[in-house]
Amino acid sequence: MTPFCHLHCHTQYSLLDGAARINRLLVKAKELEMPALAITDHGNLFGIPEFYTTAKREGVEPIIGCEFYVTASSMSEKTDRKRYHQVLLAKNETGYQNLIHLSSQSFTEGYYYKPRIDHEILRNHSDGLVATTCCLQGEVLQSILKNGEDEAKKIFEAYLDIFGEDYYVEIQNHNIPDQHRCNEVLLRWAKEYNVKVIATNDVHYVEQEDSAAQDVLLCLQTGKDLSDPNRMRFENDQFFLKSSSEMEWILRDLDPRVSQQALVTTNEVAEKCKFELPMGQLLMPHFPIPADFENDVEGYLRHLVYERAAGRFSEISLEIQTRIDHELGIIGEMGYAGYILIVQDFTTAARELGVSVGPGRGSTAGSLVAYCLGITNVNPLTYNLLFERFLNPERISMPDVDIDFDDRGRSKVIDYVVEKYGRENVCQIITFGTMGARSVIRDVARVLSIPLSEADRIAKMIPEGPGVTLESAMEDVPAFRKLSEDPNEQIRNLMLYAKVLEGSARHTGVHAAGVIIAPGKVSDYVPVCIAKGKSGADDIMITQYDGKWVESFGLLKMDFLGLKTLSVLDDTIRLLKDNRNIDVVLDEIPLDDEATIELFQRADTVAVFQFESSGMREWLRKLRPTSIDDLIAMNALYRPGPMDNIPVYIARKHGEEPVEYPHECLIPILEPTYGIPVYQEQVMQMAQEMAGYTLGRADILRRAMGKKKRSEMTKQREIFVSGAADRGIEEETANDVFDLMAKFAGYGFNKSHAAAYSIIAFHTAYLKAHYPAEFLAAAMTNDMGDTKKLSIVLEESRHIGIDLLPPSINESQADFTVENGKIRFGLGAVKGVGRGAIENILEARQSDGPFKSIFSLTKLLDTRSVSKKAIECLAKAGALDDLDGHRAQLMEAVDTAMRYAHKVQADRAAGQNSLFGVGGDGAVTMEPALPVVDPWPRGRLLKEERESVGFYVSGHPLEAFLPEIRAFASAHVADAESLAEEKGDDDNGYRKNRPQHSFCGIITDVTHRTNKSGRPYAFATFEDFSGQAELVCFSNTYDRVQRYLKVDEIVLIRGSVDMRGGSAKVLANDIIPMWKVRSHYVKSLIVRVDADALTEEQVDELAKLFESNKGSCKLYFDLISRDSTQAARLLSRTAVVDPTTEVMQGLTRLFGLHAVVVEGDG
């Protein structure tokens, strides 16, 4: 077998073209005993870090390359779409740097449909590179085929002139006639010009049978169906990773000496291209320091820390000084003084720019230096946080500082950093959207023309959650596994192709937070490309290597995160200042405020950061926290894994269970958490105290325990037991403690992060406890783009008794505001009304308002900014209710009002006189009359509100059935998450055994489907006063209730609650319309009457109401009077009624919404 290696390979990073996943490709190359393998993806270097490290791991020598797109004209020319392929391989680090430069320039300067380079830049950056004549799409071969040998030879000679002995003739044979023709010419020239020949196979997938899956990938790229006869496709199934013997076979028609040498020469090229990528170095940007410090970065950092520490502490105690010096020593030793200075610089600048900075995130809060500099706002000494959790001198790695900024101000900070360090030195980071288990099923199904409903059914068989793969789904879901043997060939192919393509990169994106700051141009260190700006924004320069790799190349990566909660805090403080002239300084909020603690004890934490879920609120009620330490613990415990310890923590806190410690030496460490290791820092301290670990070594131990690597765990156990023995602790006790630590280290939480985020939570809860209207208005403003979240906050305001004022063209601002303790809807919450339209309305109102009619409104607006649709949306939402006329009239008048506005504005522009005006700008045109139409019925009015705002504003359809809801609904949507955690008798996850609950709601969306057996089922959305939930109606229930599954139907739903898929779903066993509940299940009607206020007119109306609605329902009166503390219940002996809509509306009108109660069966 002739020694050979592949030099022309496309991986998954040849997006939607290469179907070879890097790991599979290199494992196969190793199986074939290939000494080396090249990566030559189309037009990018995206996959190089993963390819390089995987190849090293597999013992295959990586060859770094790219198949560039070359234009024969200038790369600055953006009219000629003609481009050719050109393989370039890096011989050494100089060649790698030139690959980086060429690839970066192809995106930043040469992009035109594809990233391109030209001959000039190729010549200028050819050092250290190997080039080949490439494939059929190469410039030389295309010229042979289209322009003849003479023209092609000129191009061949030009490349030979650039690359000399590093230029190779590349021959391929995929059984394509044009290749045979080109190979004959190329071999002739190779002999004529004494150019060596290599054989390649243009690899696009790993195994021959993967050809069909790669064909599917091409369809995804081109948006075509597999059955389309005119689509782009490869000629055959020969583009796979062939063995040396297979390569010999495809070259069998050539002179054996030529074919043999072409294979052998690939190894010569591989030997040329051996070098190490520059990974593992530290490339710290230069931070300018005052001249007085003579470039002493560490000295300047020390000066700054102590200078600012004086503002943090009334005096610098020995404890503080010792800790600062300890931290500065480690920072200096690890070479991170410049890094810390950079972070403090942009956090300081952010505050000066008016951008809110979070108190800390991640392990950074463990640093006293960071606290002194204002990077964080958490004193680590107060919360016993460890610096070594942030920077470990015994495990050299890049520090990880993530900073939260308010989400509206984050871009200002990035702009500041770009301005300070240079636009080319600062860069954001690429991300790759990969085909996950569910998405690959949907993508492949679309190409195979499998019906959407069937694709959705199959995709939904795959469990949701991180780390779920097709393979794991096959293990966990038998029905999904059986699809690989389905009688339908299309379904079998779907499963086959999906397995090949799963995990492939589908598209690129921009990391939400990551920013690179380099000591020079980013493109001097890693390749860059361009991401198109969204919604007209500027294009963004991003790295071609993603976040997990850029740091490996020594670049400083920082996460600039946008945290909405900081914006909520800002907006609350602004409202308080504007409305009530109250100044709130977050840093001055006492973290033992009684009203705030009581709010947490009541679990009144809807909209409170980190504590708003129904599950968390349920635990808060049981915990009854008494300090912020309890909140920090709950923040750490309320996560998968440690959540099991919450009941023990609560029981021990309240003395219902004894507090036990594994050893007396650990009492000071575990006492704050009642003997339970909750935090990663506690695990580190336990190792330090019991076994004499340094905190740095203890952090390494914690990491090893978290990864559960057996060899490392065995080694660490020996060290731990030995260290404990030196301190007089028995081997059995030491092993028990080691096991305990190992258990908790796997899911213990970072206390630094929990503390910082609990402080933010306390700040939000403080504002809610003391200024609920302003706080909730701010929360609503920041949730305007998410109807589901906004509806939860709206319901919370109703729940705590804060009135909601509807949107108003004369009173509302863009955002939610507060008027005399009531919350006014913001115009920004109305769908279909953009920010530009709102700004124009507010400007017109400021100069000429308030508006009196729809005509006086439109004539003052710029109709280019405020469209007819925007006015209609405002009318439907009730925002025009201040104007003359009712909503039906206003909607009918919109067209006339817009024409009127155009006429008035045209006349004004022309300076024409009017019958009723004085001419010029004073011209007036008579306002048209409003159309005469009937007002909308209440149902239509509420429906239009919901469509334009996302929820009901002036009422709720469920109010018509409030007595029945109180009588028959046992649960609310807001409770669904906690109800899903309940278990019934012998509950093994089977839904029939789960507790049953009754919900009353209005159906807002329905999707009818058919299962594989042809039986119908449905998904629906319903909502009650507290929120929305998904309703699942399986086939066995569907047949009975289908006629009630209609949008706007108000129903009683009986069923169990399930949390599969990450959100609560009600699995319906029965659905009954509320009109039927009222007519069939209500047996008694109770009316609460204030006897002292009852009038003769009310009695007369009651008599008429009951007389015209006789039935079989018993009628009771609960009489309330000043003379009695209890209501007196009287049974009407003369009237039995039918609880019709007329009766219920009449009683509500006479005595109020809450005065009517029903009782009955069901």
Mean pLDDT of the chain: 90
Q: How far is CA 1 from CA 58, 201, 1012, in A?
A: 22, 17, 51
Q: Is residue 393 very low, low, confident or very high in pLDDT (cuts 50, 70, 90)?
A: confident
Mean pLDDT of 806-816: 95
Residues 6+ apart with CB under 8 A from 516: 426, 427, 428, 429, 522, 543, 550, 555, 556, 557
Q: Are strands 505-517 and 556-563 parallel, antiparallel or unpaired?
A: antiparallel
- Mean pLDDT over residues 929-946, rounded? 91
Domains recognised in the chain with CATH numbers: 22-206+241-272 (3.20.20.140), 291-431+511-564 (3.30.1900.20), 565-764 (no CATH), 784-930 (1.10.150), 957-1079 (2.40.50.140), 1081-1160 (no CATH)
Say what the pLDDT of residue 219 is: 87
Q: What is the pLDDT of residues 529-573, one digit of tens each?
A: 998 877 667 788 999 999 889 988 989 888 899 999 999 999 999
> Do 313 and 320 meet the contact criterion of CB atoms below 8 Å apart?
yes
Those residues whose C-beta lies under 8 Å from the C-beta of residue 669, and which sit 6 or more positions away, are 682, 685, 686, 689
Residues 926, 916: Cα–Cα separation, whole Å: 7
Give me the DSSP letters along 1032-1100.
EE-HHHHHHHGGG--TT-EEEEEEEEE-TTSS-EEEEEEEEEHHHIIIIIEEEEEEEEETTT--HHHHH
Based on its alpha-carbon atoms, the radius of gyration of the chain, rounded to whole angstroms, reads: 36
Number of Cβ within 10 Å of residue 815's Cβ equals 21
pLDDT at 319: 96
Distance (Å, rounded) from C-alpha 309 to C-alpha 303? 10
- In this prediction, residues 367-376 reach a mean pLDDT of 96
Confidence of residue 924 (pLDDT cuts 50, 70, 90): low
Q: What angle do CA 98, 100, 102 make, to 5 degrees?
A: 65
Which residues are registered as beta bridge partners of 505? 434
**How many percent of the chain have pLDDT more than 70?**
97
pLDDT at residue 234 greater than cutoff 70: yes
3-state helix, strand, coil in the chain (%, to 5): 50, 15, 35
Segments in 449-590 forming alpha helices (H): 452-459, 470-476, 478-481, 489-501, 547-550, 564-580
Q: How confident is the model at residue 921 (pLDDT cuts 50, 70, 90)?
A: very low
Each residue of 458-494: pLDDT tens digit? 998 888 777 889 998 898 888 889 999 989 999 999 9
Report yes or no: 404 and 412 within 8 Å, Cβ to Cβ: no
Q: Are strands 804-805 and 817-819 parallel, antiparallel or unpaired?
A: unpaired
In terms of DSSP bridges, do strands 402-406 and 556-563 run parallel, antiparallel, or are they unpaired? parallel
Q: Which residue has the tokens 């029945």?
A: 964
| Residues in the chain, total | 1162
pLDDT band at 223 (very low <50, low <70, confident <90, very high): confident
Q: Return the SS3 of 543.
A: strand
What are 74's two structure tokens? 């200038």
Cα–Cα distance list, 1023 to 9, 182, 480 (Å) = 54, 68, 32
529 contacts 542 by C-beta, under 8 angstroms: yes
Distance set, CA 752 to CA 388, 557, 589, 755 (Å)? 11, 20, 20, 5
Q: Is 1133 exposed, middle or buried (0-12, 13-18, 19+ CB in 10 A)?
A: exposed
pLDDT of residue 922: 47
Give the list of residues 6+ apart from residue 1007 with CB closer than 8 angstroms, or none: 1018, 1019, 1020
Residue 989 pLDDT class (50, 70, 90 cuts): very low
Residue 991 has pLDDT above 60, yes or no: no
- In the prediction, which pLDDT does 1060 show? 67
For residues 356 and 409, the answer to whether their CB atoms sit within 8 Å is yes
Burial class (CB in 10 A: 0-12, 13-18, 19+), 62: buried
Which residue type occupies 1000?
C
Q: How far apart are CA 295 and CA 756, in angstroms?
A: 34
Helix (H, G, I), strand (E, B) or coil at 1071: strand
What's the mean pLDDT in 170-188?
94
- pLDDT, residue 69, reads 96
- Per-residue pLDDT, averaged over 862-891, amounts to 94
In this prediction, what percent of the chain has a pLDDT beyond 90? 62
pLDDT of 918 over the 60 cut: no
- Residue-level pLDDT at 1161: 72
pLDDT tops 60 at residue 917: no
Q: CA-to-CA distance for 54 and 277, rounded, in angstroms?
A: 13
Q: Phi/psi of residue 197, each to 5°?
A: -115, 140
The structure's pTM equals 0.84
| Residue bearing tokens 């020598």 | 61
Position 925 scores a pLDDT of 65
List, for residues 94-145, the tens digit of each pLDDT value.
999 999 999 999 999 999 999 999 999 999 999 999 999 999 999 999 999 9
- pLDDT for res 986: 44
- Taking residues 597-604, report their average pLDDT: 95
What is residue 920's predicted lDDT score, i.e. its pLDDT? 44
Looking up tokens 């330090």, which residue turns up? 688
1154: alpha, beta or left? (left if phi > 0; alpha if psi -120 to 50): alpha
Q: What are phi and psi of 1069, to 5 degrees?
A: -100, -25
Residues 6+ apart with CB under 8 A from 457: 1009, 1011, 1012
Sign of CA dihedral 577, 580, 583, 586: negative
Q: What is the mean pLDDT of residues 313-320?
A: 95
The span from the CA of 810 to the CA of 823, in Å, is 15
Alpha carbon distance 135, 171 (integer Å)? 8
Tokens of 947: 């469509």
Q: Give me the helix-helix angle, 149-163 and 139-147, nearest 10°.
A: 160
pLDDT at 765: 97
Q: How far apart are CA 83 and CA 139, in angstroms?
A: 8
243: tokens are 């063995």
Mean pLDDT score, 592-598: 96
Pull the structure tokens for residue 50. 């993963």
